[in-house]
């Protein structure tokens, strides 16, 4: 599948939203919706290209795409801790192993996240990939994957005490289902309705910035549904030839490095604000440096890893028999 300009732009926007969320120390509540947009995009991409792959190839490609950079960031945090740069960070072999295996656990404060905190979303991504790989064994992978995810969410009605079951039954899994639905039914949306839906989705996401309550228990409704409308409308606008690609070209280019930006920006912000006072100038420096580091991470780490992965036998589809 060729790169969709709208998808690349949305990836950049999602990463920037998370960046500004952390830049504001959670004050910019709407920034949290970046994660939901990522999940919608993931569901859409898997539903579009994943169905063409075998379970082995699917899991290999996704693991290579997600894991190496995340593992490197985790090891970098551990190394910084050993050298005394991170006084409030500690680790042990048990938590490091669970983090590397994408298995949720509760830390000493009761938070269910890995050593490298942004990895909590990757725990859900890898669960989605595992479910989708199982669904690929069936004639109707989209329907089966959606059903299995809904069953997991239904199991979340039970009062689980184990950290994996608490996280693996979160309603946020429904956002992958919505993404799969967009991949299957996006052509139903007519071009004439795409622009009003796009405007409505933007307004709804923007309105969440003024929430005075914690949106987490309702984020599938508050952020997931508007993100679904945003994804569907952007795809429809692009297919109709109405996508403003010239205006959004910088964001499209940033979309390539969105994963690196998502993983590295927290480290950059922490380093900047540890040594520089809060202020407009420091904020501009922090954002600029975060974007530069993300691009370097993409060029020096992500892209070479992806190129190497494309040469691996396990990541290649078997040749058709004649």
pLDDT tens digits, 266-299: 999 988 988 888 888 999 999 999 999 999 999 9
Does 107 fall in a domain? yes
User: What is the average pLDDT across 143-153?
Assistant: 98
Average pLDDT over residues 120-142: 97
Task: Tell me if 191 is assigned to some domain.
Answer: yes
- Residue 316 inside a domain? The answer is no
Domain annotation covers residue 224 = yes
Q: Is 27 exposed, middle or buried (0-12, 13-18, 19+ CB in 10 A)?
A: exposed
pLDDT at 322 over 50: no
> 321: pLDDT confidence band, cut at 50, 70 and 90?
very low
pLDDT at residue 309 greater than cutoff 80: no
Of 173-177, 221-225, 275-279, which range is least confident? Answer: 275-279
What's the CA angle centered on 103, arms 98 and 107, to 5 degrees? 65
Residue 276's CB is within 10 A of a number of other CB atoms, namely 13
Are the C-beta atoms of 302 and 260 separated by less than 8 Å? yes
In a domain, residue 318? The reply is no
Establish if 226 belongs to a structural domain.
yes
Domain carrying residue 179: 5-310
In the chain, the number of structural domains is: 1
pLDDT of residue 314: 67
For residues 164 and 213, give the distance between their C-alpha atoms in angstroms, rounded to a whole number: 26
Task: Assess if residue 319 is contained within a domain.
Answer: no
Contact indicator for 185, 161 with CB cutoff of 8 Å: no
pLDDT at 227: 97
Structure confidence by residue, pLDDT tens digits, 76-118: 999 988 887 777 888 999 999 999 999 999 988 889 999 999 9
Burial of 321 from C-beta contacts in 10 A (0-12 / 13-18 / 19+): exposed
Question: Is 189 within the bounds of a domain?
Answer: yes
Q: How far is CA 261 from the centre of its chain?
A: 11
Which pLDDT belongs to residue 315? 67
Percent of the chain with pLDDT over 70: 97
Q: What is the pLDDT of residue 238?
A: 94
Residue 2: pLDDT band with limits 50, 70, 90: low
């Amino acid at each position: 599948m060729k790169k969709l300009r709208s998808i690349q732009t949305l990836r950049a926007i999602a990463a920037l939203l998370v960046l500004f969320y952390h830049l504001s120390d959670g004050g910019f509540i709407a920034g949290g919706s970046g994660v939901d947009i990522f999940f919608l995009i993931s569901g859409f991409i898997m539903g579009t290209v994943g169905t063409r792959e075998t379970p082995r190839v699917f899991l290999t490609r996704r693991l290579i795409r997600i894991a190496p950079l995340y593992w490197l960031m985790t090891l970098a945090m551990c190394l910084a801790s050993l050298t005394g740069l991170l006084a409030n960070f500690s680790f042990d072999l048990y938590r490091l192993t669970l983090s590397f295996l994408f298995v949720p656990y509760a830390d000493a404060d009761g938070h269910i996240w890995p050593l490298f905190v942004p990895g909590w979303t990757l725990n859900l991504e890898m669960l989605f990939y595992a479910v989708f790989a199982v669904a690929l064994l069936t004639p109707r992978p989209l329907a089966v994957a959606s059903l299995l995810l809904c069953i997991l969410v239904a199991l979340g009605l039970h009062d689980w005490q184990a950290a994996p079951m608490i996280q693996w039954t979160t309603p946020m899994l429904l956002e992958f289902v919505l993404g799969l639905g967009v991949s299957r039914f996006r052509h139903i949306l007519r071009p004439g309705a795409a622009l009003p839906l796009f405007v409505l989705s933007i307004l709804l996401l923007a309105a969440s910035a003024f929430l005075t309550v914690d949106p987490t228990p309702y984020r599938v409704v508050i952020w997931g549904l508007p993100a679904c409308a945003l994804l569907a409308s952007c795809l429809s606008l692009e297919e109709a030839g109405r996508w403003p690609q010239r205006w959004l070209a910088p964001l499209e280019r940033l979309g390539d490095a969105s994963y690196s930006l998502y993983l590295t920006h927290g480290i950059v912000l922490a380093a900047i604000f540890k040594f520089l006072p809060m202020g407009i100038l420091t904020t501009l420096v922090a954002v600029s440096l975060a974007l530069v580091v993300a691009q370097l991470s993409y060029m020096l780490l992500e892209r070479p890893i992806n190129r190497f992965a494309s040469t691996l036998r396990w990541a290649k589809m078997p040749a058709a028999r004649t």
